[in-house]
């Protein structure tokens, strides 16, 4: 089997990522596999590639039906025969998929674990020609996993039912304890064990004090113009508030939480996947159903409850291995809020485990040490370098500040008020706030009242945070904890020890500029290719990232491919994507280079000669695929007829026709494809909305036209304009 050739021709990659090749070879050899690979590590290729080479059907067991369609769309986009089977399909559609399964007519079939429990389903699987079984999100089978699902327990029967089939289990996150539990429950036989590094070098980790969180979130998003991101909030109420705040300030944002009805949740997720909105604001209910590769930032407005959840949530950024930003806004009040809920759990062992996990998360947020090392240590992995270069601590360093006197001011206020009040009231006392509570209690008459009026309240809250983190203060109570001075804290209060506070240097603004500066692609061209990707995806009914990842677009915007050979060299471009989308993207890139002659690029002599001649207008200069479409169009065949005859999507044929009209090809008549009145209506809308974007034209005509017709008319108008300019 030509594994390397299949990798390049079908998947568009010139080399494997770490661990992928040995997993693929093990499955092809009939061996069981257990792989712990981080999000973005390329798990899906590990079973899709062998499925494309082996006879029979690979069954992929996946937990969320919302994820299946995106995965199947992505597989189909590269030329694989893939399908899914779940409750969203009509009965007739399910029967059709089952018929294909039993005939071995698909290479990949995605099912949910619940499907295995349906009467008779396992028996029908046994009657089908299967190649191997793959279990995705395998941590769901372990009671020690962070997302245990009882439905996954049915998977324990797989080995018994299919003793001779290879079984491959994958998860993005698993401690050693969870790893052992998965292997035991699935009865994996001498599996190839792969535990990839949990390090995600393309992710930049940053923690900032939370002050005015919605304003801070807005400021962070404003530095990611045109880029998709997720904002996680702790409660449904906070999700709604943050989503409304962002929307009111012109940021396209939608909420997602379990309190919304299923239809609204699905619609909001699809809008985010299609890039119709920039931001989704969500609770952790927005989780494993995300296959979107072009998420450039994940913001946590509150402290996550454990490191494993934090790793999973931040891992949804940068799945294409391009730079992404993970920003956490933290306040110690989160700790007390989460502790309050943990203490309500029924079992003592659950409460103790929850508190241990929460304390670990608190250390990550509050200690000024390398964020990457802290993440990796949780998964029993060490980071060998002193400076990771990918977090706020390592990039900007820390400074030690002697804050003994200010610590004593805070502690004095706590001591003189009987250690019976929370942080907000203590800060008000030191700052000298004129509140009714202070006046009623007479706290405006104690010695420390107003002693810190020159500093802001935020500063005094930072001092309290530092004292809590070092165990010099304790917070007792439920949802609204009271501050107490510990024995170690008394050493500071009475001047027997100094309080040294360590903090990260430099403000967010400078850091964000550095994060953005880690990319080196042509942003103007990227915007044009983004628009083309979104429009072609809308016409095809798939999310934009299914066509090309941001990584592929970034590479196009660095290397400026101008012919099919150069386009095939782009990461993620295989023969099917070249055939379906290559001509459209190459046309935009060629036109861009003509408009920007200052761009220097190493071109082959043939490409350089064609560039100097300008846009070709002869049939002989067309690519084979354009020539074939032109010939059929001249014979009077319509868009759908040509697409069916050539085995291509209708949007691909529409793109060909757009290019042909732009070139002014002889014998191609617009009247053969569109009614004159409709042509006039579309032309008028391009006059109103400009000659570039298709979406406002299609929407303005309210269902009279689709993207295919709008695209063809755009090419026709562009061709007419070019002829006039030449005359």
pLDDT digits (tens, 9 = 90+) for 348-357: 877 888 888 8
Quote the tokens at residue 58. 């690979």
pLDDT of residue 562: 87
The CATH superfamily holding the domain 3-195 is P-loop containing nucleotide triphosphate hydrolases (3.40.50.300)
Judge whether residue 148 has pLDDT over 80: no
Output DSSP code: residue 621: G
In this predicted model, what pLDDT tens digit does every residue of 360-400 receive, in sequence order?
Answer: 888 888 878 899 999 999 888 899 898 999 999 999 888 88
Residue 516, exposed/middle/buried by CB under 10 A (0-12, 13-18, 19+)?
middle
Residue 458 CA to residue 209 CA, distance in Å, equals 9
Quote the tokens at residue 463. 């001092």
pLDDT of residue 610: 43
Average pLDDT value over all residues in the chain: 86
CATH architecture of the domain 203-395 equals 3-Layer(aba) Sandwich (3.40)
Judge whether residue 671 has pLDDT over 90: no
The structure tokens 């994820």 sit at 67
In this predicted model, what pLDDT tens digit does every residue of 101-129 receive, in sequence order?
Answer: 999 989 999 998 888 888 888 889 999 99
Confidence of residue 479 (pLDDT cuts 50, 70, 90): low
Whole-angstrom CA distances from 296 to 127, 278, 519 are 45, 10, 12
Judge whether residue 589 has pLDDT over 60: yes
Output DSSP code: residue 15: S
Confidence of residue 192 (pLDDT cuts 50, 70, 90): very high
Count of other CB atoms within 10 angstroms of residue 507: 10
In this predicted model, what pLDDT tens digit does every residue of 590-639 receive, in sequence order?
Answer: 888 878 867 866 444 434 444 444 443 333 456 778 888 889 988 888 88
Domain extents for the chain? 3-195, 203-395, 400-504, 523-726
Q: Which residues contact 285 (CB under 8 A, 6 or more apart)?
A: 256, 257, 258
Topology (CATH level 3) of domain 523-726: DNA polymerase; domain 1 (1.10.150)
Quote the tokens at residue 580. 């379906």
pLDDT of residue 691: 74
Judge whether residue 328 has pLDDT over 90: yes
Confidence of residue 517 (pLDDT cuts 50, 70, 90): very low
Whether 365 contacts 330, CB under 8 Å:
yes
Whether 230 contacts 71, CB under 8 Å:
no
Question: Among 138, 93, 98, 136, which residue's Cα sits nearest to residue 118?
Answer: 98
Quote the tokens at residue 686. 């391009």
Judge whether residue 680 has pLDDT over 80: yes
Residue 58, exposed/middle/buried by CB under 10 A (0-12, 13-18, 19+)?
buried
CB burial of 645-665 (b: ≥16 within 10 Å; e: otherwise) equals ebebbbbbbbbbbbbbbbbbb
In this predicted model, what pLDDT tens digit does every residue of 416-475 receive, in sequence order?
Answer: 999 999 888 999 999 999 999 999 999 999 999 999 998 888 788 878 878 887 889 988
pLDDT of residue 506: 63
Per DSSP, the three-state class of 461 is helix
In this predicted model, what pLDDT tens digit does every residue of 213-266 receive, in sequence order?
Answer: 999 999 999 999 889 999 999 999 999 999 999 999 999 999 999 899 988 998
**Which residues are bridge partners to 58 per DSSP?**
108, 132
Q: Which residues contact 515 (CB under 8 A, 6 or more apart)?
A: 204, 323, 325
Whether 410 contacts 460, CB under 8 Å:
yes
**Nearest 5°: CA angle at 361, between 359 and 363?**
70
In this predicted model, what pLDDT tens digit does every residue of 28-53 receive, in sequence order?
Answer: 999 999 999 887 778 899 999 999 99
In this predicted model, what pLDDT tens digit does every residue of 640-661 receive, in sequence order?
Answer: 899 888 888 787 888 888 888 8
pLDDT of residue 601: 64
The structure tokens 């930003």 sit at 325
Q: Whats the size of the chain, residue-wise?
A: 727
203-395 matches 3-195 in CATH topology: yes
Whether 168 contacts 46, CB under 8 Å:
yes
For helices 575-595 and 65-77, angle between their N-to-C axes, nearest 10 degrees: 80
E-strand stretches of 182-330? 192-195, 203-209, 228-232, 253-256, 279-282, 295-300, 324-330
Mean pLDDT of 75-86: 92
As separate numbers, helices (DSSP H) first and strands (DSSP E) second, the chain gives 35, 17
Share of the chain above pLDDT 70, in %: 91
**Which residues are bridge partners to 35 per DSSP?**
170, 194
Judge whether residue 277 has pLDDT over 80: yes
Task: Please provide the CATH number assigned to the domain covering 400-504.
Answer: 1.10.10.10
Residue 510, exposed/middle/buried by CB under 10 A (0-12, 13-18, 19+)?
exposed
């Amino acid at each position: 089997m030509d594994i390397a050739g299949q990798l390049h021709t079908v998947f568009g990659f010139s080399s494997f990522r770490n661990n992928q090749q040995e997993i693929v070879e093990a499955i092809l050899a009939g061996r069981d596999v257990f792989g712990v690979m981080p999000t973005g590590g390329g798990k899906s290729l590990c079973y899709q590639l062998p499925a494309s080479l082996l006879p029979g059907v690979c069954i992929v067991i996946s937990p969320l039906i919302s994820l299946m369609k995106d995965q199947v769309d992505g597989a189909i986009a590269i030329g694989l025969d893939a399908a899914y089977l779940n409750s969203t399909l009509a009965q007739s559609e399910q029967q059709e998929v089952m018929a294909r399964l039993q005939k071995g007519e698909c290479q990949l079939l995605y099912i949910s674990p619940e499907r295995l429990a349906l009467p008779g389903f396992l028996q029908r699987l046994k009657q089908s020609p299967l190649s191997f079984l793959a279990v995705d999100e395998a941590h769901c089978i372990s009671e020690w996993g962070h997302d245990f699902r009882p439905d996954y327990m049915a998977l324990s029967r797989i080995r018994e039912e299919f003793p001779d089939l290879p079984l491959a289990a994958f998860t993005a996150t698993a401690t050693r304890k969870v790893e052992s539990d998965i292997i035991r429950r699935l009865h994996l036989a001498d599996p190839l064990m792969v535990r990839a590094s949990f390090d995600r070098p393309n992710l930049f980790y940053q923690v900032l004090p939370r002050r005015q969180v919605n304003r801070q979130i807005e400021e962070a998003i404003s530095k990611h113009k045109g880029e998709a991101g997720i904002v996680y909030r702790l409660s449904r109420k906070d999700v709604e508030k943050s989503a409304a705040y962002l929307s009111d300030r012109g940021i396209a944002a939608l909420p997602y939480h379990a309190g919304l009805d299923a239809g609204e949740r699905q619609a909001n997720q699809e809008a985010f996947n299609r890039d119709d909105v920039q931001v989704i604001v969500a609770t952790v209910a927005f989780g494993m159903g995300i296959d979107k590769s072009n998420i450039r930032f994940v913001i946590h407005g509150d402290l996550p409850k454990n490191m494993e959840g934090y790793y999973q949530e931040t891992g949804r950024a940068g799945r294409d291995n391009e730079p992404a930003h993970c920003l956490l806004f933290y306040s110690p009040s989160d700790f007390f809020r989460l502790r309050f809920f943990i203490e309500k759990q029924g079992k003592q062992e659950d409460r103790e485990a929850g508190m241990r996990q929460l304390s670990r998360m608190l250390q990550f947020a509050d200690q000024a040490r390398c964020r990457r090392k802290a993440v990796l240590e949780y998964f029993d992995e060490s980071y060998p370098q002193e400076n990771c270069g990918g977090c706020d601590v390592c990039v900007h360093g820390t400074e030690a500040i002697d804050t003994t006197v200010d610590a004593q001011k805070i502690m004095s206020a706590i001591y003189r008020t009987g250690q019976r009040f929370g942080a907000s009231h203590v800060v008000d006392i030191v700052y000298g706030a004129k509140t009714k509570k202070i006046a009623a209690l007479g706290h405006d008459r104690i010695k420390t009242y107003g002693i810190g009026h020159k500093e802001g309240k935020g500063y005094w809250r930072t001092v309290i945070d530092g004292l809590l983190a070092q165990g010099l203060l304790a917070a007792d109570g439920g949802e609204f904890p009271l501050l107490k001075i510990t024995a170690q804290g008394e050493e500071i209060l009475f001047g027997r020890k100094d309080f040294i506070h360590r903090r990260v240097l430099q403000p967010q603004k400078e850091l964000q500029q550095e994060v953005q500066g880690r990319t080196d692609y042509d942003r103007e061209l990227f915007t044009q290719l983004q628009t083309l990707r979104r429009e072609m995806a809308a016409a095809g009914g798939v999310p934009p990232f299914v066509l090309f990842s941001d990584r592929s677009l970034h590479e196009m915007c660095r290397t400026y491919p101008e012919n099919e050979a150069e386009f095939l060299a782009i990461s993620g471009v295989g023969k099917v994507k070249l055939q379906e989308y290559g001509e459209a993207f190459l046309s935009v890139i060629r036109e861009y280079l003509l408009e920007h002659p200052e761009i220097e690029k190493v071109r082959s002599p043939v490409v350089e000669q064609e560039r100097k001649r300008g846009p070709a207008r002869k049939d002989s200069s067309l690519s084979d695929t354009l020539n074939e479409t032109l010939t059929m169009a001249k014979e009077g065949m319509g868009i759908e007829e040509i697409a069916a005859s050539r085995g291509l999507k209708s949007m691909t044929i529409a793109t060909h026709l757009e290019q042909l009209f732009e070139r002014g090809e002889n014998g191609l008549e617009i009247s053969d494809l569109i009614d004159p009145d409709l042509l006039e209506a579309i032309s008028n809308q391009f006059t109103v909305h400009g000659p570039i974007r298709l979406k406002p034209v299609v929407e303005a005509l309210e269902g009279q036209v689709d993207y295919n017709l709008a695209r063809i008319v755009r090419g026709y108008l562009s061709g007419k304009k070019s002829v006039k300019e030449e005359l």
